Amino acid sequence: MRRGGYWIIILALFALLIVVLALGCTRRSNPERALTYPEGTLLTASVDWNSLEGNAYGDPARRNVYIYCPPGFGENSEKEYPVLYLLHGYAERYHYFDKIHQIQKVADRLITSKQIQPMLIVMPDCFTSFGGSYYTNSEVFINKYESVEFGGSYEDFIISELRAYIDGSFPIRGELREESPPADSLVYRKNRAIGGYDMGGYGALKLAMKYPQYYGSISAMSPYPTHFTYGETDTVIDGLELTNMPQEWIDVVFGENGFSPGNVKAYYSMFDSVMEKGVYSMPHTARLFAMASAFSPHSDYVKFAEPETVSTFFKGTFMGALGIDLPMDASGNTMYFAWKHLWRKHDLKILLDSLSKQRGINPFEEIDIYMDCGSEDDFALTQVRLFDSYLDELGIDHHYEEYTGYGDFFAGGDNFLHDRFDDILKFHSRSFPKLTNLNAPQIVYPTGSQEVNLGSILELNVEAEDADGDSMILGAKFVLFEQKPVKNEADPLNDTTNATFEDFGNGKGLLTFIPKENQVGLWVVRFRVSDGELWSEKLITIRVKK
């Protein structure tokens, strides 16, 4: 046989092999295809935000915001969704959670597999020239009557502008008007959540404790900082109550820059070193400047008791008469004005104490809280543990989880953020009110607001209907709104005799309420109807008048 004949045989056998392999492949399902899910939509809104205009850095007021919309979004014009605001960490941008950690794929999978409710996820851009805003308004006075936003009003941006933009542009459950009744306010905040990682975790905790009327749940992943402390020594923990900046913090900044206290030239070149080496090479120093730009911007208008109580950077540069006051000087001493009067009020423990005293109620009393941190996170772990213990001392119900790594992957930084999204989104989904099934029974009466005078009898007939004709069970529960947010819940149907509810069957019932002296005020009654499998609720208000 000639040499060419061998090649013909070889080519024929090769062709036969290809056919066999092709036929074999058609009999197997493609595992990659089997793991795909219907995709949601990741929208980008680019807006000029008023609260970020005119800052001393010259940072742009036009910022992008990612809005994740779940699979099927827009197919039903009447469908409304809960929303999660997710805040990025230090030195990151709005696209961080998706481009790095693929939150869209995680949300698509969990929603399609019905492990979580469909929800919107809003991811704003709060990056600044110093790496991060700490979600704070950095206002500084330039004379007796005028102030400027030194780095931008990022608290106002999240709380006012962005919230109004999302409420007005997307179908979000609940509506909040100026004179909204408590029932509407409760529905509004329960359908809104805030979370974040690192600096974003700090921002989520801070904004939720300042504005609890807007959020029903918080998730803080490795929040940093919670306390302005370092290390685990007794000195540092006691330092929460002292006026000095923790020595560990000062030491780590000097060590990171490679010079000893007293070297003034090296001290004032710290920021140049950050710019040269990068924020990830000098994280403690970089964050110190970012926090100072948010917490202690400098103005010559502020007069200090002693000249040495200020340590200013950037004055006379592009910021003109403005600058940044660090809470430490070149010798490692605490700058008391910056530390005591400007920084410490942003410490979450101190802020929570202050707000609780002002309002007579802990702001976290009615908010679902989730915190986590990696067991090898050298930045956040100590502080998160301290804050967890502090919430325990206050009796604030919350969930804290400390997770471990495996193999060569240590549990620190954002190494496991993609994995943590499963728990975070499930937590918020559980906190959001459950969607009412279309086949669930519905309460059709009573509606609106009711009034009753002290000593009078209020009788309300309750009616429900079920499209399937199933038998129904009715119930009722009272919630007393002494102030906003709800201070406590009481159930007079169980512990008093002045309110009764009778279920007559067939979707009919009667609420009888004879208010007592201590029950003057506004009440919300939550009626629930169930067919044994599905259920729905309706809220009405009852005002007890003297």
Is residue 426's pLDDT more than 80?
yes
Please provide the average confidence, as pLDDT, over all residues in the chain: 81
pLDDT of residue 32: 30
Confidence of residue 163 (pLDDT cuts 50, 70, 90): very high
Is residue 410's pLDDT more than 80?
yes
pLDDT of residue 487: 33
Q: What is the mean pLDDT of residues 426-439?
A: 78
Q: What is the pTM of this model?
A: 0.73
Between 181 and 30, where is the model more confident?
181
pLDDT of residue 105: 94
pLDDT of residue 77: 77
pLDDT of residue 396: 95
pLDDT of residue 193: 98
pLDDT of residue 494: 36
Is residue 497's pLDDT more than 80?
no
Confidence of residue 195 (pLDDT cuts 50, 70, 90): very high
Q: Is the link from the previous residue into 485 a cis peptide, with omega within 30 of 0?
A: yes
Between 442 and 92, where is the model more confident?
92
DSSP, collapsed to helix, strand or coil, labels residue 327 as coil
Burial class from Cβ neighbours inside 10 Å (0-12, 13-18, 19+) for residue 495 reads exposed
Confidence of residue 181 (pLDDT cuts 50, 70, 90): low
Between 336 and 321, where is the model more confident?
336
User: Tens digit of pLDDT for each residue in 18-66?
Assistant: 333 333 333 323 333 334 557 899 999 999 999 999 888 889 999 999 9
User: Tens digit of pLDDT for each residue in 455-482?
Assistant: 899 999 999 988 777 888 888 877 654 3
The span from the CA of 311 to the CA of 231, in Å, is: 24
The span from the CA of 195 to the CA of 207, in Å, is: 10
C-alpha triplet 196, 199, 205: angle, nearest 5°: 60
The span from the CA of 123 to the CA of 196, in Å, is: 9
Is residue 127's pLDDT more than 50?
yes
pLDDT of residue 471: 85
Is residue 67's pLDDT more than 90?
yes
Confidence of residue 243 (pLDDT cuts 50, 70, 90): low
Task: Provide the pairing of β-strand 508-513 with 499-505.
Answer: antiparallel
Is residue 526's pLDDT more than 50?
yes
Q: What is the mean pLDDT of residues 87-100?
A: 95
Q: Which range among 202-211, 301-310, 327-336, 505-514 has the greatest average pLDDT? A: 202-211
Q: Hey, what's the torsion of the CAs at 134, 275, 139, 53, to 10 degrees?
A: -90
pLDDT of residue 221: 98
With both helix axes pointing from N to C terminus, report the angle between 103-112 and 417-431 in degrees, rounded to the nearest 10. 50
Sign of the dihedral defined by the CA atoms of residues 433, 437, 441, 447, in that order: positive
Is residue 244's pLDDT more than 80?
no
Is residue 132's pLDDT more than 50?
yes
User: Tens digit of pLDDT for each residue in 289-332?
Assistant: 999 999 988 877 655 444 445 688 876 565 566 788 899 999 99
Q: How many CB atoms lie within 10 A of CB 118?
A: 21
Structure tokens, 477 = 């529960």
The span from the CA of 365 to the CA of 369, in Å, is: 10
Structure tokens, 418 = 């993609």
Confidence of residue 259 (pLDDT cuts 50, 70, 90): very high
Reading phi first (left if > 0) and then psi (alpha if -120 to 50, else beta), residue 21 is in: alpha
